[in-house]
Amino acid sequence: MNYKRINNFKEAFEIKINLLVTGINVDLDDTKISFKKKVDALYSHTPYNYDKIPQEIILYHDENTKLPIVCNIRFNKKSPYRVFLKDNILLLKYEDNLYIIEPTRIGNLYDYQFSESIQILGVNLAGIVLSNYCHFVHDNKKCRFCEIDSNCFNVKAKSRVEILKHFKKIKTKKDIKYLSITSGNFNKDYDKMLVFFIDFIKEIKFINKDIKILLSLMPPSDDELLIKLKNVGCDMVAFNIEMLERKRFEKMVPGKNLLGYDLYVEKLKKAKSIFGAGNVYSNFVYGVQSLIKNRGDTFNGKEENDISLKGVKFLLKNGIIPLYTVYHTNGTNEIGDININIEKLINFSLDYGRLVLKSNLVDKDKKGVLFDLGSISNHVYNDAYILNKYYL
Ligand code: SF4
């Protein structure tokens, strides 16, 4: 069999979507696969042994941005896609195709583990996870698609001093341009949480004033705090709405629904007025928007795309940039498997990229919708955007 490289951006983009939906099988006995291993993160909850499963693979190098298309490995031993080493070449096999791929060792950054609390999430992105505690899970109000295992909770937020100590090391790594901070819902009082993050980000900016920061959190009740957050140097915020339609928001995300759909949208608009158009993000889960009674077997590809596109247009019209995660499960949530229609997802992603590009909300010089291509390998929105920008 002949090995080949993935030919062009569009082909790599479509393969990535297939890989995110169907997962990837990795030969767990192949101990020679020695690239960046999965690390314990807020949303890492695979029951499999991290040591043997690589975090991600590089599918393609883009000529225009000089950045790679990176795909996260959602391990699935039944997947028709398989990653393995042969003759010291890393290969991705699908049917009769054998693609040459690469491990993620970009600029040596991937060889450097900062700490348990700071991780490298892409070519120029670091991420901080303060706590993996979510009070919704504890209060029986967890999002229906959530797979967080409450047994893995670290109730206490990680030590700020410890994180800052490790963050100082990042300063010396010139490639790190962005920092993503995930708050974790470790306190029911979102205002108190935000006060904490205002101080925290102030300290981070004191160490590195140039780093661009995104904070993902629940909306506070006191809007003045958002002004303070901006004033200490936070560049972007994300309030993740998850469900785009009110009636499904109420059923699917009962914890977030304590605030209510309308207030959530209001807060997004408020954040936009403070941080500016294009600096406020909201993520939704592609795959669950069309479900009836939260049952995975009621997925409807056409309706999924209709709801998702309508939601994308609504957010863009209000100066908010939508993001999306492709639904996946390891069988521990109540929704279970969803037979996502890959063709429909590709079509939606192409439309999404076109709409975001047309909105002009993303800076012309940027190499992605959020951060740059080659980061956050679990998502395809950056790939969809770059594909539209340069190749369609
Ligand atoms: S906000 Fe929802 S998805 Fe996130 S950890 Fe809490 S329950 Fe899970």
Would the pLDDT of 68 be above 80?
yes
Distance CA 62, CA 93 (A): 21
| DSSP string for residues in 52-112 | GSBSEEEEEE-TTTS-EEEEE--B-TT-SEEEEEETTEEEEEETTEEEE-EE---TTGGG-
Atom of ligand 1 nearest to the CA of 141: 7
**Ligand 1 contact, 143 CB (< 6 A):** yes
pLDDT cut 70: percent of the chain above it: 86
Question: CA 150, 151, 154, 156 torsion: positive or negative?
Answer: positive
Among 229, 259, 222, which residue's Cα sits nearest to residue 242?
Answer: 259
Q: Which of 134-148, 160-174, 259-273 has the highest mean pLDDT?
A: 259-273
89 Cα–ligand 1 center, Å: 39
- H or E element that contains 359: helix 342-359
Name residues whose C-beta falls within 8 Å of residue 63's C-beta, 6 or more positions apart in sequence: none
Would you kindly state where each structural domain of the chain is located, as residue ranges?
Answer: 3-103, 112-391
Given a contact cutoff of 8 angstroms between Cβ atoms, the answer to whether 83 and 92 are in contact is: yes
Tokens of 374: 């080659």
pLDDT number for residue 50:
44
Would the pLDDT of 41 be above 60?
no
93 Cα–ligand 1 center, Å: 34
**Ligand 1 contact, 142 CB (< 6 A):** yes
pLDDT band at 137 (very low <50, low <70, confident <90, very high): confident
pLDDT band at 161 (very low <50, low <70, confident <90, very high): confident
134 Cα–ligand 1 center, Å: 6
Q: Which of 26-40, 50-64, 291-305 has the highest mean pLDDT?
A: 291-305
Beta bridge partners of 5: none
The beta strands (E) that lie in the chain are given as 3-4, 25-26, 56-61, 68-72, 81-86, 89-94, 97-100, 102-103, 118-122, 125-129, 178-182, 212-216, 236-238, 280-286, 321-326
pLDDT number for residue 153:
57
Atom of ligand 1 nearest to the CA of 253: 2
Substitution site in 133, 136, 139 for ligand 1 pocket (most atoms within 8 Å of beta carbon) = 136
Given a contact cutoff of 8 angstroms between Cβ atoms, the answer to whether 54 and 103 are in contact is: yes
Atom of ligand 1 nearest to the CA of 43: 5
Summarize the confidence of residues 225-253 as an average pLDDT.
Answer: 97
Termini Cα distance of the chain: 32
Tokens of 67: 């950045």
The better pLDDT of the pair 83, 384 is held by: 384
176 Cα–ligand 1 center, Å: 28
Would the pLDDT of 173 be above 70?
no
Summarize the confidence of residues 284-306 as an average pLDDT.
Answer: 96
pLDDT band at 175 (very low <50, low <70, confident <90, very high): confident
For the beta carbon of residue 24, count every other beta carbon within 10 angstroms: 25
Would the pLDDT of 346 be above 90?
yes
Summarize the confidence of residues 22-32 as an average pLDDT.
Answer: 72
Residue owning the nearest CA to atom 6 of ligand 1: 134
Would the pLDDT of 299 be above 60?
yes
Would the pLDDT of 350 be above 50?
yes
pLDDT number for residue 122:
81
Atom of ligand 1 nearest to the CA of 134: 6
The better pLDDT of the pair 1, 286 is held by: 286
Distance CA 382, CA 166 (A): 28
Among 126, 133, 134, which residue's Cα sits nearest to residue 168?
Answer: 126
Residue owning the nearest CA to atom 5 of ligand 1: 134
The better pLDDT of the pair 217, 46 is held by: 217
pLDDT band at 121 (very low <50, low <70, confident <90, very high): confident
Residue owning the nearest CA to atom 7 of ligand 1: 142
156 Cα–ligand 1 center, Å: 17
Summarize the confidence of residues 73-98 as an average pLDDT.
Answer: 87
pLDDT number for residue 37:
44
The better pLDDT of the pair 382, 329 is held by: 382
Would the pLDDT of 48 be above 70?
no
pLDDT band at 42 (very low <50, low <70, confident <90, very high): very low
276 Cα–ligand 1 center, Å: 27
pLDDT cut 90: percent of the chain above it: 63
Rounded to the nearest integer, the mean pLDDT of the chain is 87
**Ligand 1 contact, 146 CB (< 6 A):** yes
pLDDT band at 156 (very low <50, low <70, confident <90, very high): low
Substitution site in 148, 154, 190 for ligand 1 pocket (most atoms within 8 Å of beta carbon) = 148
| Class of domain 112-391 as given by CATH | alpha beta
336 Cα–ligand 1 center, Å: 16
**Ligand 1 contact, 134 CB (< 6 A):** yes
Residue owning the nearest CA to atom 3 of ligand 1: 146
